A and B are shown apart, each in its own frame.
Chain A
Amino acid sequence: MYDEKNTAPAAIEPFDKEWGVGVSGLTEEPSPFPRINRMLKWVKNIDSTADSERAKIFTECYEKFAMYPQNIKCAMTLREVFRRVPINIWPGELIVGELSAPPNSAPIYPEFSVDWLVEEITERPMELRRNDRYVISEEVKKDILDLQKAWKGKTVSEAIIASYTDEEKKGNHLGKGVILDGLFVYAGVGHVCADYEKLLSVGFGGIKAEIEAKLAALDTTNPADLSKKDFYTAELIVLEGASTYIRRYGELAADMARSEADAVRKKELERVSSNCLWVAEGAPRDFWEAIQLWHIATNMIIIETNGHSVTYGCFDKIFWPFFERDIASGTLTREFMQELIEHSFIKMHQLRKIRDTFAITFSSGTIMGGTALDVGGVDEFGNDITNDLSYMVLDAHAHTRIPNPWMGVRLHENSPEEFKIKTFNVIRIGTGEPKIFNDAPMIESLMRYGKPIEDARSYVGVGCVEPSVPGKTYGMHDSGSFNLAKVLELAINGGRCVDCGPSCARWAECGALGKSLGPDTGSILTAESFDDVAASFDAQMKYWCDIMISCINKMDAAQQRLKPLPYLSLLVQDCIGRAVDVTAGGALYNHSGPQAVGLGTAADGLSVIKQLIFDEKTVTGKELLQALRDNWEGHEPLYATVNGERMHHYGNDDDRADDIARFVMDTYCKYIEHRPTPHGGEYMPGVFSVTNNVLHGTYAAASPDGRKAGEPVSDCIGPAHTQLGSHDRRGPTAIAKSVAKLDHARIGNGEILNWKFSPSAVSGVTGREALISLMDTYFADGGMQSQFAIVGRETLIEAQKKPEKYADLLVRIAGYSAYFVELSTELQNDLIGRTELSFD
């Protein structure tokens, strides 16, 4: 146990500093640094916008360089962007670099897709959006409209969609949403963590020398070396572009310093200038240069591709050598480095990605999305890694209270007690940050998917939670989202949607012709035992898993063919060694990770069928199916019964339901795990929804767990809740025990367990200690991840009514936190509906 008298700071604040419980968004100036508070205010008051400079250069250069191999064309185009896009340095900045010129702006990426953006601009003005609002100038709008003609038929999305069969389309995001695979169809992949340790130790100059040596060693008369030569040529082109881009910031800062009247600011600008001029090629020499290079190198990944969840890595591990050296030599103070960390968080908060209306209805408030950064955990030898920076990063969140980065704390059985206290004190603020990972099952899972133990121990959670070896993995995490509830619907109704009828948009080409969405694998009308129902579910699962994998493979292949990523390939091992682009298998570890959604809904549905139809025989399959077709109207007693406490529901430490949940999850895993991906890796299943549970719910008819048509399905790996109430009724230990019964290490693409506590349930020392014990026991039992919403239900309802009063109320959504008042109403309601564990 920790020494209660020891309050010496391991960071800036004492380890047991309390910031209050459930007080997210109630602090005006959270940081002790005036510069940080000023920047926070400045950033929050600027409208998001779009910038067309990148898009214009891409249109011009794809045409101009059309005769080059695809990767060289992409490299030359990106180099032009780095050479030519306008850049700025904003007041007070100590770390510089943006995605595009106006503050809080998103670049445009026409090479992926254009049509939807044009449709948004012409039909649903983004400045009128209630959430995820963008104010775009008329000039930029005109530029975007011009893109459509230039890119017709040339985008990645058009190539992918053209390759889908009708069978695939009718079940995927273009049809009935059994699988949602649109993420990487309309945008880049992202979901990657660069090799920051290497970049910060050798600099771009070191990487350049490595490539030059490789290039010099090639035999240009050997046909096998031709593609290698193209690859290295592309790498050198893009690297030159990257160095130029950083240097331009150095020159701009020098110009600004010359005309700066304020002596203090002048000095800062001079230092910013020398930082950039040095790290354009050189390896950083102190913490400040390192954080500058880390920040701008990441921005360049996002300028190359709009894939989100570009991850910042394990901060305390990456920066420790710089921190230790600077403290010892007195180069920089601890306080100043704290200020730099907080500053870097604000820079992440300024990143933008434009999404369409459909996406922001169900996944709102993500801003950029997936700016993941972890602290804590073990090193490659299994020793605790927690250091002063781990604590400083947690303080930095308490001092900024913005939803970036998406923070993760890695815990293991030897994590210091002080670190846990700091972690849970930050969690109890109620912003939803950080989430916590359990090292043991994360590491075991990485090993099951082919990593040696040293690499497995070095993992980072990419994006939301996806386990990944930083700098060595191209994981295509989040490559699809699979609706377990919809599959159960088809499995109990002969492959047809329960609401099959003329109101369906696909009626004319499907139901009206006597066809069905899925194959006829059985029905509860004819099933003679629960085994029959389980067999039908299994067969239906196999069919849809195959369809999903086929869709994702087409997307994977098209991304490879049309959008190689020469810049990212500089920063992922072993692209340079293999002379292969990262999209084509250059990384040491390659995966594709689609998620299952609606585990609780499917499990409870099967459990209800087993209990009522086959065990107790109080309801017939016909009665239940009719109730679902009628959306429970006129079947109120049955509706109450299936939602009632007599049922065996997942989340109550009841083996009869938990065994079924395990069957559902294992069935999904069995049809996904270890299958080959086109870029040379293997598939890994995940079990989390982010916010797709709300979206998937809109595609699914009423379900036997007591859900009405259109309601969200259950979120992530947690129990179901319906309009009528939560299906977990026995408190947090029962939830933890139920969830722990699943085979977590099998979930290679990660899982999320959302907890929602009322502030009173976790307040005081007793509340904190009980919460830590709850998580310690859950983790000892095999649980993989947890994240927390600590906010009163009344507060959320009040915030819905008076959004102006709660502008800063930050809450946990799924993989991320967001401002509550900026969420869509659908998502707000889903959040209010989740079980709140309250013990008043």
Chain B
Amino acid sequence: MMTNAAGEPTALVTNIQKYTIHDGPGIRTEIFFKGCNMRCIWCSNPETLSALPQLGVYPAKCLGRQKCGRCAGACPQAGSPIRFDADGVIKSIDFAEYCEGCLRCAQACPAGAVKIWGTSMTVPELMKIILEDKAYYERSGGGVTLSGGEVLLSAEFAELLLKECKKEGVGTCVESALNVPWERAQAVLRLTDLLITDIKHMNAEKHREYTGSGNERILRNIKKAAEFGVKILLRTPVVPGFNDDDENMRATGAYIRDELGGAVIQYQLLPYRKMGTEKYASLCMEYPIGDRAVVPRGEWENKIAELAAMLTDEFGIPAAAGSGNKLPL
């Protein structure tokens, strides 16, 4: 577990989103942890993949070197890693060759053109923010949702944080792919009111091809979690051409019915939409899914609704299209 200079446990957080309403019941504060051990080609949060702090560059916000130039001024290497275009507008930061990752350029930028992805935070710092909205959780049946990245890569920290939440009476959700050793997951799930997890594909090979990782451990852990007694909100991000075929959907339906007992309170089919392109650009990363899987908005939502109805009919599981339906809690 990471610690700060004072020896307090810390974790890297990329974003704290208040009034989240689709990741668990009620009004929630969602905390995104940095670092992930999967590489799903449709991932819309590329800033959470690496477990290290990163700099994102937003040229459209840059004031230009002539008018500002504070980033280069703050850089211990006199700005040599910072690339500007012909007009003096920031283009990128050369992480590979020169940058030491001191983050001073981002701290100096007044315009948000250089953004730090990943702030080191302690449990008390997070609790202060979480508790700001306590009245809203209480009224709505909400609470906190730990997400990522893969939050279970920071399991010890998550455990400390969830203990504090429990102490304060804040409801807890954990959103995880469960692609970690079971023991690591178990310690966190003990403090979790609702687990949000995915079955991305039933076929291990396909799963590996699209996410960089097989599904064997994931399926095993979902089953263990079901047996462990935690309530599960199960999801499939339905990506055209990857997992939307009837065969895979039926296999998923059967698995939920046969293996997960009554632990799954709702099975959500989430229509894939390409989001986060500007974040990929800020990190100078390619969006792996590229232009594949582009679907007209309404049409795709209709298909998802049909799939959900089919799964409910054929397998008697609580399938739902999208995340707008009430959770039976």
Contact = CB atoms under 8 A, between A and B. Distances in A.
Given A637-B67, A733-B19, A837-B19, A766 B323 contact: yes
Interface in A43-67: none
A731 B111 CA distance: 20
B27 A774 contact: yes
Contacts of B322: 764
Nearest to B324: A764
Contacts of B323: 764, 766
B19 A732 contact: yes
Interface residues of A, number: 32
A640 interface: yes
A773 B68 contact: no
Given A764-B324, A766-B325, A640 B63 contact: yes
Nearest to A735: B19
B302 interface: no
A636 B139 contact: no
Nearest to A775: B139
A764 B17 contact: no
Nearest to B115: A645
Interface in A25-55: none
Nearest to B326: A765
Contacts of A734: 18, 132
A766 B20 CA distance: 10
Nearest to A641: B110
Which one of B19, B132, B133, B135 has the greatest number of beta carbons of chain A within 10 Å? B19
A764 B70 CA distance: 46
Which one of A737, A765, A766, A839 has the greatest number of beta carbons of chain B within 10 Å? A766
B21 interface: yes
Given A644-B112, A733-B27, A777-B135, A770 B326 contact: no
Contact of B67 (A636, A731, A776): A636
A767 B21 contact: yes
Contacts of A731: 17-19
B136 interface: yes
Nearest to A762: B21
B303 interface: no
Interface residues of B, number: 31
A767 B326 CA distance: 9
B63 A733 contact: no
Given A764-B325, A769-B326, A777-B136, A637 B18 contact: no
Contacts of A730: 18
A825 interface: no
B22 interface: yes
B275 interface: yes
Given A644-B110, A733-B27, A774-B136, A766 B18 contact: no
Contacts, number: 92
A780 interface: yes
A765 B132 CA distance: 25
Which one of B17, B132, B139 has the greatest number of beta carbons of chain A within 10 Å? B139
Interface string A708-741: 0000000000000000000000111110010000
Contacts of B67: 634, 636-637
Which one of A764, A773, A774, A781 has the greatest number of beta carbons of chain B within 10 Å? A773
A763 B21 CA distance: 10
B138 to A, nearest CB: 8
A839 B22 CA distance: 9
Contacts of A240: none
A166 interface: no
Interface string A546-562: 00000000000000000
Contacts of A781: 135
A653 interface: yes
Contact of B63 (A637, A766, A774): A637
B140 interface: yes
Given A733-B18, A766-B325, A767-B21, A640 B111 contact: yes
B35 interface: no
Contacts of A653: 132
Nearest to A642: B110
B214 interface: no
A770 B18 contact: no
Interface string A739-777: 000000000000000000000010111110110011011
Nearest to A837: B19
B53 interface: no
A737 B132 contact: yes
Contacts of B68: 636-637, 640
B197 to A, nearest CB: 19
B22 A766 contact: yes
Interface string B17-35: 1111110001100000000
Interface in B313-329: 322-327
B63 A780 contact: no
A637 B110 contact: yes
Contacts of B324: 763-767
A765 B325 CA distance: 5
B19 A780 contact: no
Interface string A815-840: 00000000000000000000001011
Contact of B326 (A634, A641, A766): A766
A667 to B, nearest CB: 27
B112 A777 contact: no
Contacts of A837: 19
B111 A644 contact: yes
Contact of B70 (A637, A774, A777): A637
A789 B64 CA distance: 36
Interface string A634-671: 10111011001100000001000000000000000000
A839 B110 contact: no
A640 B110 contact: yes
Contacts of A764: 322-325
Interface in B7-48: 17-22, 26-27
A457 B27 CA distance: 31
A773 B140 contact: yes
A777 B19 CA distance: 13
B142 to A, nearest CB: 8
A763 B139 CA distance: 19
A227 B120 CA distance: 78
A731 B27 CA distance: 11
A774 B142 CA distance: 11
Given A636-B67, A641-B110, A644-B111, A773 B19 contact: no
Contacts of B132: 653, 733-734, 737
Contact of A770 (B26, B63, B111, B135): B26
A773 B112 contact: no
B140 A770 contact: yes
A767 B22 CA distance: 8
A737 B129 CA distance: 13
Interface in B109-158: 110-112, 132-133, 135-136, 139-140, 142
Contacts of B64: 636
A766 B323 CA distance: 8
A639 B110 CA distance: 9
B21 A839 contact: yes
Nearest to A21: B324
Contacts of A765: 324-326
Nearest to A4: B326
Given A636-B67, A770-B142, 11 more contacts: A636-B68, A637-B67, A637-B111, A641-B110, A645-B112, A765-B326, A766-B22, A766-B327, A767-B21, A773-B26, A777-B140
7 contacts: A636-B64, A637-B63, A637-B70, A637-B111, A640-B112, A733-B19, A765-B324
10 A-B pairs closest in CB distance: A764-B324, A773-B140, A640-B111, A640-B110, A770-B21, A641-B110, A731-B18, A731-B19, A777-B139, A765-B326
